Amino acid sequence: MAAPSMNAVYATDEYGRPFIIVREQQKKSRLSGFDAVKSHILAAKTVANIIKTSLGPRGLDKILISPDGDVTVTNDGATILSNMEVEHQIAKLLVQLSKSQDDEIGDGTTGVVVLAGALLEHAETLIAKGIHPIRVSDGFERACKVAVDHLDKISDVVEFTKDNTENLFKTAMTSLGTVDAVLSVADLERKDVDFELIKVDGKVGGSLVDTALVQGVVVDKDFSHSQMPREVRDAKIAILTCPFEPPKPKTKHKLDITSVDEYKKLQSYEREKFEEMIKKVKDTGANLVICQWGFDDEANHLLLQNKLPAVRWVGGPEIELIAIATKGRIVPRFEDLTPEKLGFAGIVREISFGTTKDRMLVIEECSNTRAVTVFVRGSNKMIIDEAKRAIHDAMCVVRNLVRDNRVVYGGGAAEISCSLAVSKAADEISSIEQYAIRAFASALDAIPLALAENSGLSSIETLSNIKSRQVTENNSRLGIDCMMTGSNDMKELFVYDPLISKRQQFLLATQLVKMILKIDDVIITGASDE
């Protein structure tokens, strides 16, 4: 064995086995100054450029392949970023930025990353010219305030009530059923929407036009016995988290059966317990059992004999949603079951699909009419998953309008208008921060430029034309005509963005860029110091 070098230490563990400690592993490599900033911006630009082509209605899709080989096709920014494997620290921050926008607003996840990437790209140019990163970040913050204030000035109000939802339909017209879904669970007085009451489920088969809003709950289960009725009206539901099986000692146990008589005694004991459990359920007046756990064939047969339809292996989230919808109580023990704890539904029925044996349970006309299910159909799982993501985004848009019914206009119109306002503000500033403010205005143009490019238009020419028209016509509603309708007025085309969504994009992107610009030293442990 060769002797270890001067940069290594030879040692043995408590069992005498040799190992080597390499000294370089304990040292640290430092990347500082402008080199660090360039590295950060390069990583951010790479992520932003990957996702930029997915922006807008004409954005291109990405194929995501998981380590297990599962394929996802999507143009949803949050989904793309969450499934990307990124190693660079700044790239990870952009992924977290998208997740923050998705968690808080539910929409605009692609735009916020594109804006952050554009801000960093312009910051790199300013820093290369000798402007200190702190002055750049201060200028960006100042420009962001101007842009956010300008959003308030150009915003319009979308008037709606539960009886008059035409404007909400126009806002989320790509998936109309979501408006009814959100308003079913919305509290307009508190301006709040409880998404826990909305379940989005899907089943392969049919087409997207078969997607429906169910005023109730859809569960991917069927009745436990093939001879049980396929429909129960005026259902009084016992919701159980205890299994239909004889009680067992909680400690380890063993039972030796040495004769036929002993076996018959055990069989009789189990049957008595099953009958006792069923009697406790029927005594409460229940005519349907929904159980979180399974039960064996004997219990299933006894339930059929006693004309007590049952559904087994219902998951925890579905159990909770059923309890909320039917205003029932989840019962952990048969002894605790009382008539007051039963849930009520007008009809519980099985639905089947085509020529397959697949069946699902639909619980409708529930006591709590606010619980709803959006039931998505599609030719394959990828289409259903993408439809679910689109429905989620549309629901978030409607929820945001319930919270704050002010909107700005999409198609890049709001960004172009804010860019003009920020440029005008820069002309009134004499300090060096005016360069950073103008850079912020240029970064805002990245959104309409990407929309035009993704739509097959000449991006610079189209942007210049719209900017000129916004100034001459004094019309902040003009944006990129992505769908080639012949009109650039986003109000006529019903292209809206909730004000709180657009404001959040500006604020989150600016905060992240400020933080990145303040990083001048990256220390990587476990690397050589060469």
d(CA 441, CA 142): 11
Contacts of 33 (CB under 8 A, 6+ apart): 520
d(CA 118, CA 447): 9
Q: Give the tokens for residue 373.
A: 């299910």
Of the residues 53, 76, 79, 385, only one is catalytic, namely 76
Instruction: Give the residue among 131, 61, 55, 50 at the shortest CA–CA distance from 91.
Output: 50
Of the residues 109, 211, 326, 462, only one is catalytic, namely 109
Angle at 207 between CA 205 and CA 212, to 5 degrees: 95
Instruction: Give the residue among 486, 501, 473 at the shortest CA–CA distance from 410.
Output: 501
Q: What are phi and psi of 244, to 5 degrees?
A: -80, 80
Kindly tell me the sign of the dihedral angle through the C-alpha atoms of 503, 508, 511, 513: negative
Q: Based on the residue annotation, tell me whether 171 is a catalytic residue of this protein.
A: no
Say if CB 401 and CB 168 are below 8 A apart. Answer: yes
How many CA atoms within 13 Å lie on the side-chain side of 218? 20
Determine which helix (DSSP H) or strand (DSSP E) holds 136, and give its type and residue range: helix 133-154
Q: Based on the residue annotation, tell me whether 76 is a catalytic residue of this protein.
A: yes
Of the residues 102, 107, 222, 393, only one is catalytic, namely 393
Largest CA distance in the chain: 101
Angle at 320 between CA 393 and CA 196, to 5 degrees: 20
Say if CB 449 and CB 482 are below 8 A apart. Answer: no
Instruction: Give the residue among 245, 239, 337 at the shortest CA–CA distance from 292.
Output: 239
Q: Give the tokens for residue 340.
A: 């007051």
| 3-class DSSP state of 41 | helix
Of the residues 74, 110, 178, 373, only one is catalytic, namely 110
How many CA atoms within 13 Å lie on the side-chain side of 273? 14
Q: Based on the residue annotation, tell me whether 109 is a catalytic residue of this protein.
A: yes
d(CA 422, CA 463): 16
Say if CB 329 and CB 323 are below 8 A apart. Answer: yes
Q: What are phi and psi of 264, to 5 degrees?
A: -65, -35
Angle at 473 between CA 168 and CA 150, to 5 degrees: 60
Q: What are phi and psi of 263, to 5 degrees?
A: -65, -40
R_g over Cα of the chain:
31
Burial (0-12, 13-18, 19+ Cβ within 10 Å), 5: exposed
Instruction: Name the β-bridge partners of 400.
Output: none
Q: Give the tokens for residue 176.
A: 């109309």
Q: Based on the residue annotation, tell me whether 125 is a catalytic residue of this protein.
A: no
d(CA 325, CA 348): 12
Residues catalogued as catalytic: 76, 109-110, 393
